[in-house]
Amino acid sequence: MATKHAAPPSRAAAAKPDKRSFRFPSAFTVLLVVTIAVWLLAFIVPTGNYQVDPETGAPIPGSYEGTDSALGFGDRLMELFLAPINGLYGVINPDGYIGPYESGELYGAAGVFLFVIAIGIFITMAMQTGAIDNGVARIAQRMSTRGTVLIAVLMVLFSIGGTTEGMAEETLGFYALLIPLMLALGYDRMVAAATILVGAGIGVLASTVNPFATGVASDSAGISIGDGIGFRFLMYLLLVPVGVWWVLRYARRIKKDPSRSMVGEVEGDDLLRLQGLRDVPSLTGREKSVLGIVGITFAFMIFAIVPWAQVINGPAAESYGWQLDWYFPELAALFIVMSLVVGMIGGLGEKGLTDTLVKGAGDFIGVGLIIVLARGVTVIMNNSDITDTILHSMENLVSDTSSGVFGLVMFLINIPLAFLVPSTSGHAALAMPILAPLADFAGVERAMVVTAFQSASGIVNLITPTSAVVMGGLALAKVRYDQYLKFVLPLVGILFVLTAAFVAVGAAI
């Protein structure tokens, strides 16, 4: 993303690439290495199993027993060969073995995979109509004389996108709009970049129904995406103002004394200031309708997935008659249907609608494949009978801890994992099958493990140089990475302390 907007290198420079440069491997490469490493590890890790509670499906603490492996080398080679296939549509039989030809329940991530594609189509379709871009531009124009209020409103809007649909790459389209506007209002490029990065980033950190973090993690943990939504919403309400305060603190300082800017002047800023407050046409009826449908669709998704009776009356309560209890199949269908509705109302026409549908699916296929590859790793562990062995090795770590300490441990464990696997969805699909059952040993709700995971992932993804969202956004804003770190690291420290406290207290209560 960054190279698109940089000056092209000379031919001489292109012919002699810098051999000292290092590029962190992509999530696909990391997961390939992890897959092979886990497969090799299965040759030396002892096999064993827990007894399972027939009512809850959870492993019974203290019931682990070692077993003899029934897999030969040829069988293990086939497990590696079929790992991605099993990760997509492997079926787990009554004996616990997973394979594409077994009879039983679906273990692969086919449902999550299709849901990711469906929501990708929906988001791309809404962006293609121009309604979202023009909606943000219209808000900016109306509030152009109230800079601090505008920054706060935009950050809240981006945070809503982060907490509901994991808004990330979609934010890259807004830099061209916000940079001229912020410069015209007397701020600098850091304010524009932080409004987007911190706004959406804290929303993702405190995800409520984000399908790429909360959804994938909840599915991998064997719980509903609505479990724990009340606590996550409370985190969102308390953490977003902290981010807004930090950005406004810097923005007021720059407005008062431009010489204190962390980025200074960039060539062309004077011209951008002149066009920053240009007139933006009023929203058309079509654009208003599209924005309304987008909002209603996400609101309906929240209504459909929240286990209302269980939230109000306790986990054992029977669902209300009006309670939908939807899951990934229904949600995927919802977003596919609403994508078509948005495309038709947005006036894209038959060709525009179908082209955008294919483009949206293509843009999000990478996320889906990462989820599938990560699920394939857990299939290897399961079929090799080492998953329970790893759980057993960690059982002693958490079984004697208090609930609050357990929550904190889960949060800290996920920090390095988030650096290793930058993809939020891949991280969730890889870690949750191992970490979620530990909550059963500690007497903590599995939803707290999901919250700990997404909080850790969200904090890391505010600063990680492996993120296309961070590095691409900074390149578009022409803000150096070291400048951004100087600005955001104190905020990250504050968020780290607050989030760790939230998770510890949440697990304790």
Please say whether the beta carbons of 361 and 339 come within 8 A: no
Give residue 195's pLDDT: 96
Cα(343)–Cα(357) distance, integer angstroms: 9
Cα(278)–Cα(180) distance, integer angstroms: 9
Instruction: Determine phi and psi for 66, rounding to 5 degrees.
Output: -70, 150
Cα(505)–Cα(501) distance, integer angstroms: 6
Please say whether the beta carbons of 426 and 375 come within 8 A: no
Mean pLDDT by 10 residues, the chain (509 residues): 38 44 68 90 89 72 82 92 94 91 91 87 90 76 81 93 81 78 88 95 92 86 86 95 97 93 87 66 89 90 78 71 88 94 94 94 86 87 86 73 89 83 77 86 89 94 80 84 93 96 90
Q: What is the DSSP string of 149-173?
A: HHHHHHHHHHHHHHHHH---GGGGG
Q: Give kind and range of the element (H or E) at residue 438.
A: helix 424-442
Q: What is the DSSP letter of 97?
A: -
Structure tokens given for 69? 């492996």
Name residue, tokens 């596919």.
336
- The pTM score is 0.70
Give residue 275's pLDDT: 61
Estimate the crossing angle of helix 131-142 against helix 110-128, to 10 degrees.
Answer: 60
Provide the residue type at 458 as one letter.
Answer: G
Cα(196)–Cα(180) distance, integer angstroms: 14
Collapse the DSSP code of 129 into the 3-class scheme (helix H, G, I; strand E, B; otherwise coil) and give the result.
coil
Give residue 24's pLDDT: 56
Task: Identify the bridge partners of residue 52 per DSSP, sorted by sequence position.
Answer: 59
Give residue 173's pLDDT: 65
Cα(414)–Cα(421) distance, integer angstroms: 10
| Listed residue (414, 427, 411, 362) closest to 30, CA to CA | 427
| Listed residue (475, 424, 486) closest to 450, CA to CA | 424
Cα(334)–Cα(330) distance, integer angstroms: 6
